[in-house]
Amino acid sequence: MSASECIFCRIASGEIPADVVYRDDDVVAFRDTNPQAPTHVLVIPRRHVPSAHELDDAALTAALFAAMQRIADDQGLGDGYRVVTNVGPAAGQSVPHLHFHLLGGRTLGWPPG
Ligand code: 5GP
Ligand code: ZN
């Protein structure tokens, strides 16, 4: 998939608007348009990685988790939050660009569906 075809590549480049809450050289995070919790942020690498199954860059992995820690602090999620990434169709991945869902602001049930 080319960057021009990938909606999250287009959000990362600024071509498509999003409610961005965090950005650095490697990572962009923005609010989900269909939020499942009071805070529902999608945290993505700027470069196209299809899913967590293809994530093989240790520095990028660290950057993504550092961003999530910072966003959780910024969003006031000290009581707890959840990080979820769906991999492939059976898990419900609907956008084929790696994204971590960062969910918080309410009590979250377990197990997920
Ligand atoms: P998945 O189902 O792949 O795990 O998660 C994809 C998420 O992306 C969904 O929660 C969906 O609401 C969100 N999403 C899809 N398209 C857009 C978009 O154009 N902008 C934003 N902000 N979120 C989107
Ligand atoms: Zn992409």
Domain assignment present for 110 = no
From the CA of 93, how far away is ligand 1's center (Å)?
9
Domain that residue 66 falls in: 7-104
**Active-site annotation holds for 40:** no
Amino acid at 85: T
Site residues for ligand 1, CB cut-off 6 Å: 7, 18, 30-34, 42, 86, 92-95
3-state SS, residue 96: coil
Tell me the CATH number at 45.
3.30.428.10
- Give me 108's structure tokens: 């979250």
Whole-model pTM? 0.97
From the CA of 96, how far away is ligand 2's center (Å)?
7
Mutate to test the pocket of ligand 1, among 8, 95, 97, 101 (most ligand atoms within 8 A of CB): 95
Domain assignment present for 111 = no
Domain assignment present for 112 = no
Q: pLDDT, tens digit, for every residue of 33-70? A: 999 999 999 999 999 999 999 999 999 999 999 999 99
Amino acid at 65: F
Domain assignment present for 29 = yes
Q: pLDDT, tens digit, for every residue of 72-92? A: 999 999 999 999 999 999 999
Number of domains making up the chain: 1
Domain assignment present for 2 = no
Tell me, rounded to whole angstroms, the distance of Cα 21 from its chain centroid: 11
Domain assignment present for 82 = yes
**What sign has the CA pseudo-torsion 76, 98, 24, 20?**
negative
CA atoms within 13 A on the CB side of 19: 9
